[in-house]
Structure 1
């Protein structure tokens, strides 16, 4: 474990610079023959200096639960909207941009997910300047602007800019803070708290998908964006106002701490995120469309997205609870192995709706523990000043996976799958999930050391 040495260093510094040290030095220079009893008497004349650092409110109780609730709501909308992207993706592929190539359409989801994941690296320097609360509120205004502008967009490039870049970056600030704040407020219940907050993305899709679907049915996708804008703005604004750190929190004043590149634990966490994100995004973006192509109605496919998100939300909560009894790496190793296996068997080799339904629910259960347990591992291993930076770097790796993977997968689906055969991209997804087990095994080894 990486022990927090800050208190020791502070104590050492205070001792070297204290008035007592100055007296001792002065006495030793000007009166070399003075005996030790006289020195001790002189030292006692100095008033005591209290160098203790205020500990703040007690963890795991009181306002900690309000912070957790605020983070849950913020993640519900910041990640929930992204998790509901399957609805938009299906609408873009099947209705709005039928004559546009799949790899070009994929850039909308690519930029949205990339900036939602990677943009959080900017949170640390912004928090240093304006604080945690106002950084989250800044994210609210930026993300809301993206949704509102998307409601007037009719071209793919316009949606890339509005729904992708602007909304994604605003949400990234909210996501980074929502996953960092519980680590500052919880100690004994840290895993459970982060798991509950991380489940907000799944429950968010459960809330938002019916809203988006209904508005699209009775009006248009543009009005769906406007309704999302109102819900997102009000909810994350209130959640942002409730946020504050338990104790002094000054993240590293760097967008990227290049020292972490030499840290094997940080790099292994990033490797896990990179590999799993490619596999996870394939199911998230293409499974609903594959159901429609196999004869399932769009409405039923949309409802199944909600079922998937519900299962994945409870999976994150359960993972956070199991951390008290099990090694988080063991949980992730098992779940990632299962995710890869079921992708390469149940989805790849079968066309029956019943089998696909079971696959989708099982994938929701096994595919997501890293999203809650990754921040738990980070918060347990690193000092609090580095938590935001390591979380941001981890999500950057997932963003890069989307930036590289989503267009490539879209191109493969377009060229080799002819927009009807999903077997090539399913093999890619299952393989990458199985590959993510390798850095998890190494991570378990390094953290044991």
Structure 2
């Protein structure tokens, strides 16, 4: 174990990169060690040296919990607002733009999703110049500007620009920071902290969907934007004011670090995220509509979305907690495989409402661990200054998946499914989920080797 001793000595001499350098234990450790329960997360984040770092407060205690709460609140609104998008989409289709083709209206949600996922690549260079706290506050102002402008928008292209591009971009900055900060403050409980923060998007939908729905019912969508803007501003501004790195944190000064394109770990994470996201969009967008097709009410479908968000939020938190004892890559492999299988076994050609309901809840639990565990793998493998870049790159690729996947799925559903047959897109979703297992298996093999 001389290699491990050398790494520990290096960590003591350079505390800024201690957690990341100790993450290399997963590569240099004997293969037999990697098959035990002291898995990926523990080997990369457990050493006591990091708790004695003189340059900053000890991790996993004290202000670290303040950081976790602040990031949780930020993600409630940054991701929760997008999860509540269905309320706006319904209003656009049924009230505001009844004469506009649905594929044009879909560009509002598509670009909001793309920019929420991919815009975070700019966070690193901004943090380098103005710091983590002020970068998060900048994201708050950008997102709120988008919401205010959306509250005066009356055309599709205006909402594409305001709610889609501007609001989505502001959210992406906050999301990137909120997934990066816990990695700097937590070592022993890193997986649980990131998992809890990642789950906030699901919990946020439980808060925002009823609020937005009620405001739309008693007034209109424009006042819903203004109420959401006020809530967003107060909560994310407070969360942003609390943020700071534990020790000196200087991200690399690049929007895209092209050296990461040669890093197998980064590429495996990105490829799996791309494939998984296409598969995930199928039930996300089409399962509620399939219930209506079965004769169920739209109110029931909306309520089930909230139940789905509850299961997905619990899943992200639980998977992050389990990452302390089980290799997070193994959790994703099993979850993605189960998701693909149940899409074929329980949703494809199923006619029973009970089977559909069971599928939706199971999918909510097994379908989304990547959002929580992808950042855990990144934080365990890469140096602190590259964490934001890798998270941003993986979310950029997932943004491309949204940009490519949603219009393609819509075209297939329109052309081959005739807007009534969901079997083609269900098969596509299942295939992409199962394909996403391949780069995860390759990633596990590479790290073990």
TM over 0.5: yes
TM normalised by structure 2 equals: 0.87
- Measured on the aligned residues, the alpha-carbon RMSD in Å equals 2.1
In the alignment, the residues of structure 1 paired with residue 139 and residue 124 of structure 2 have an alpha-carbon distance, to the nearest angstrom, of 13
In the alignment, the residues of structure 1 paired with residue 197 and residue 290 of structure 2 have an alpha-carbon distance, to the nearest angstrom, of 30
Partner of 2:31: none
State the secondary structure of the residue aligned to 2:55.
Answer: coil
In the alignment, the residues of structure 2 paired with residue 91 and residue 421 of structure 1 have an alpha-carbon distance, to the nearest angstrom, of 24
Report whether the alignment pairs 1:153 with 2:157.
no
Partner of 2:78: 78
In the alignment, the residues of structure 2 paired with residue 366 and residue 298 of structure 1 have an alpha-carbon distance, to the nearest angstrom, of 25
Report whether the alignment pairs 1:251 with 2:251.
yes
Unmatched 5+ residue regions in structure 2? 16-51
In the alignment, the residues of structure 1 paired with residue 156 and residue 425 of structure 2 have an alpha-carbon distance, to the nearest angstrom, of 23
CA shift digits 1:109-161 (9 cap, x unpaired): 11001100100000000000000000000000011111121122222222211
CA shift digits 1:186-206 (9 cap, x unpaired): 010000100111110010011
For residues 30-69 of structure 1, the aligned pairs below 5 Å read 54-69=54-69
In the alignment, the residues of structure 2 paired with residue 6 and residue 226 of structure 1 have an alpha-carbon distance, to the nearest angstrom, of 52
For residues 355-366 of structure 1, the aligned pairs below 5 Å read 355-366=355-366
The change in CA–CA distance for 1:410 and 1:145 in structure 2 (over 3 A counts) is same
Partner of 1:190: 190
The change in CA–CA distance for 1:71 and 1:96 in structure 2 (over 3 A counts) is same
For residues 35-184 of structure 1, the aligned pairs below 5 Å read 54-184=54-184
Structure 1 residue 53: Cα displacement: 8.2
Structure 1 residue 320: Cα displacement: 0.8
The change in CA–CA distance for 1:429 and 1:253 in structure 2 (over 3 A counts) is same
For residues 15-414 of structure 1, the aligned pairs below 5 Å read 54-414=54-414
In the alignment, the residues of structure 1 paired with residue 116 and residue 276 of structure 2 have an alpha-carbon distance, to the nearest angstrom, of 16
CA shift digits 1:147-181 (9 cap, x unpaired): 12112222222221111100100000000000000
The change in CA–CA distance for 1:105 and 1:423 in structure 2 (over 3 A counts) is farther
In the alignment, the residues of structure 2 paired with residue 161 and residue 83 of structure 1 have an alpha-carbon distance, to the nearest angstrom, of 19
TM normalised by structure 1 equals: 0.87
The change in CA–CA distance for 1:234 and 1:53 in structure 2 (over 3 A counts) is same
Structure 1 residue 409: Cα displacement: 1.4
Which range is displaced more, 257-266 or 276-285?
Answer: 276-285
In the alignment, the residues of structure 1 paired with residue 68 and residue 408 of structure 2 have an alpha-carbon distance, to the nearest angstrom, of 37
The change in CA–CA distance for 1:185 and 1:308 in structure 2 (over 3 A counts) is same
Answer yes or no: is the 8 Å Cα contact 1:315–1:366 preserved in 2.
yes
State the secondary structure of the residue aligned to 2:182.
Answer: helix
Partner of 1:37: none
State the secondary structure of the residue aligned to 2:131.
Answer: helix
CA shift digits 1:236-275 (9 cap, x unpaired): 0000000000000000100000000011110000001101
Which range is displaced more, 232-241 or 285-294?
Answer: 285-294
Unmatched 5+ residue regions in structure 1? 12-51
CA shift digits 1:318-371 (9 cap, x unpaired): 101111111111111110011111112322211332222111111100011110
Answer yes or no: is the 8 Å Cα contact 1:60–1:185 preserved in 2.
yes
The change in CA–CA distance for 1:10 and 1:299 in structure 2 (over 3 A counts) is closer
The number of residue pairs the alignment matches comes to 409
In the alignment, the residues of structure 2 paired with residue 5 and residue 381 of structure 1 have an alpha-carbon distance, to the nearest angstrom, of 18
